[in-house]
Structure 1
């Protein structure tokens, strides 16, 4: 029954069950009542017929026809509905009650049956055998041979039918009243103890689905529905607490990610500063030396020597600035030590899982075992994973996927170098991909195709620098519209040399 409330289904079931049980009981009671009325009527009529049989046999044997008429008249006064007939041995009615001519045809066949084979006969006749009752008794002869005749009593069953109709009406009314009472009470109880609590639970579920984790349901009692309500309230409470924990963790991860991004940017700026300082420092030394030489030559005009001294002062000032840039550019050397690459990479995956869900991007992580230990700096490895995953999530549209895989690998750091064993960190997305021209410049500082979305072009150069310090290698493959695949190889054995891309 789709679309029908459970209380309605149970109410209909209760009503139908009550109707069947009470209807069956009422029907059986009516049948019993009919049987009892038939039995009582039959016994009374047979008793009357037996009394008349004895009286008729005595009167006919003694030739007292007047006594027979007197008996019939007396019976007519007491119960005019009863008709009595006396048939001779030839089946001809010789005596009958006054006014019984209309019912004679009803008893002729039964009377002849008794005359042919003397025996007592009781027969309910008419529609549904409720029209009249016929009782036929044989009248014995003086010699005790064949029956001398037959006494027939016909009693109409109008009173019995009226009693049955009255009993039927009373029984049907009682059954219907009971069914209605049981149905109403049952429906009220179902609505009170089942439908209303379930409706409250449904409303609370809708509120929770809308983000309201304070929605609860008032407990209805200690029954099964009450247990469901209590379990639901407990579940909502746990969901609310879990959501608060997730929100707190997400906020913490966002703060950590922001910090890592700041470190990333500072590292890139430091790298840029180092290059800038190197490019400025060499010409500046030459300029400073030449200016000092000019300032020391006494034969030159004073204006020339004064300008030379100014050049010396300003070049020294620039030198101090360059020295500060070099101090800023000095990166802390990576501390390479044997470690399990799974822990730092998995930490970054968990860190960005919330961001992936928010972007509606599936973030899949797989680690092939056994995984050898690598010689790496844990912080640097985390920075590499963070930069690659951040770029992949940014490039992947809603409904896309980013796959992160850790697996044992063998790689060649640079052409001409022997292969090394290590671990490969693979980051593959189903994003927009890159054109060939962009792919060639992907590791250039400040080159980005996402400037409109906040890209700085510093993340991948930092990845390259960190992996180079580890003696590893980075490869990238991408096609426009088909996603991008970065593979980072971290060596698991110590060897002289630098990494390559």
Structure 2
């Protein structure tokens, strides 16, 4: 049950008890006042009749008494007057007085004996008739009889019923009004603010620590809201520090692993370059000389050409190894990533036309600037586009697109703003097993076509140096999609490395 409903019911019950008690006391007082007024009126009438009847009886004018009662009957037929003699016998009465005799018979002898006035309310709840019995005395004080005045209380009963109904309706309206106002106040100033706080808590439970509640009130609920906002600010700061520590740790661990791999690979590459470089240079030169001698047999010249081609391939492999392990220091600058990417696309347009492949570039307007090395971005675009053109058959399409895009270096880390470079081809695609190893050094999907397996490793190394991320999505026979994210220039998490 909601708090507004509980408080509304509580107010209704409390109001019912208080107003009901007050209304009951008011009705009791009202009834007492009405009874008193009616009794007072009847007593006054009785006293007036008592004086007149006593005078007539002392003078022996019973006819005057009868005439007086008939006159009263004409003026107020509802009032019955009865005159009893000293023995208690009914002497004179108004019309209908014989029926009222039953109401006062028990009081006649008491009144004549005690000489005091007796008033009595008769019927259910004492609201049927009011009887007033007065003694009749002679000049010497001897009892002459008694006078009874009987008045019906229909008007009093109707007045009391109307008063009770009015009081009941007033109490019910007050209870309803107080309950409604209390319910609305609780709804506006307690339930809705608490509902906003609860909604913010659910948002926080979902992982969003930026949720706050606007404090609209300057009371205890407003203080609660301000305390909640202060707590959320502290939690968000603590979460930010924790995320930064986690990102730093992941970056450090990943960087250490990468440095260890590159150190080992660097030693291997340096040894290969030293041990192979000079002999390979001599071998290539001799092969070129043999291939240039026209007097030699055709098969000798053809084999010499193969030696030259393979020597150049080995030289390229060694050079790529050295580029991977001993890259020059990057020169970070704020740049529009579209400029170096467009330069690479224009460079490869001729090669794409020779292969019969359509090469397209799409870019969003007003891309945010990135802090990057222009040569490194060009190298990334060149390696990705070269691989895409090589994998796409004649008649296919390679599409390059640039757009805004958020990314995470790891699922548990916070989301960062960046620029997304996507290279999509309609080539042969890559199976799932190869996708898991595609960025490993020396892993190639076309070794028989001369692939060294270093191009994508270089891409990942450059992107990692920029604090970005690279991923691949592909399906055999449906082409591949390589996505590179580079953080924007004003990102405050520079220097992190993707795992």
Match of 1:184 in 2: 180
Is the counterpart of residue 128 in structure 1 residue 154 in structure 2? no
Deviation at 1:262, TM superposition (A): 7.5
Aligned twin of 1:98:
95
Match of 1:35 in 2: 32
Report the Cα offset of residue 18 of structure 1: 1.5
Structure-2 separation of matches of 1:205 and 1:20: 39
Q: Is the 8 A contact 1:193 1:220 kept in 2?
A: no
Gaps of at least 5 residues in structure 1 are 270-357, 359-501
1:151 to 147, 153, 166: 147
Match of 1:87 in 2: 84
User: Does residue 232 of structure 2 align to residue 230 of structure 1?
Assistant: no
Give the corresponding residue for 1:439. Answer: none
> In the alignment, which residue of structure 1 is the partner of 2:198?
202
1:69 pairs with 66, 70, 80, which one?
66
Pairing of 1:92-491 with structure 2 (within 5 A): 92-145=89-142, 147-258=143-254
State the partner residue of 1:7. 4
CA drift of 1:92 comes to: 0.8
Preserved CA contact (<8 Å) 1:7 1:195:
yes
Distance 1:99 1:198 in 2: 74
Cα offsets for 1:361-419 (capped at 9, x unmatched)? xxxxxxxxxxxxxxxxxxxxxxxxxxxxxxxxxxxxxxxxxxxxxxxxxxxxxxxxxxx
Displacement of 1:256 after TM fit?
3.9
CA distances 1:302-329 after superposition (whole Å, capped 9, x unpaired):
xxxxxxxxxxxxxxxxxxxxxxxxxxxx
Q: Do structure 1's residue 25 and structure 2's residue 22 form an aligned pair?
A: yes
The CA deviation at 1:59 is 0.4
CA distance in structure 2 between the partners assigned to 1:233 and 1:70 by the alignment = 94
Counterpart residue number, 1:58: 55
RMSD of equivalent CA atoms: 2.3
Paired residues of 1:42 and 1:133 also in contact (CA < 8 A): yes
Does residue 1:46 correspond to 2:43, yes or no? yes
Match of 1:444 in 2: none
Q: Partners in 2 of 1:71 and 1:25 — Cα distance?
A: 46
Gaps of 5+ in 2: 265-411, 413-499
What's the offset of the Cα at 1:134? 0.9
Q: Find the counterpart in structure 1 of residue 358 from structure 2.
A: none
- How many residues were matched structurally? 267
Structure 1 counterpart SS, 2:210: coil
Listed one character per residue, the Cα deviations across residues 333-374 of structure 1 (whole Å, up to 9, x for unaligned) are xxxxxxxxxxxxxxxxxxxxxxxxx9xxxxxxxxxxxxxxxx
Q: What secondary structure is seen at the aligned counterpart in 1 of 2:209?
A: coil
Secondary structure class of the residue paired with 1:148: strand
How far does residue 46 in structure 1 lie from its aligned partner after superposition? Answer: 0.3
Give, in angstroms, the shift of residue 258 of structure 1.
4.7
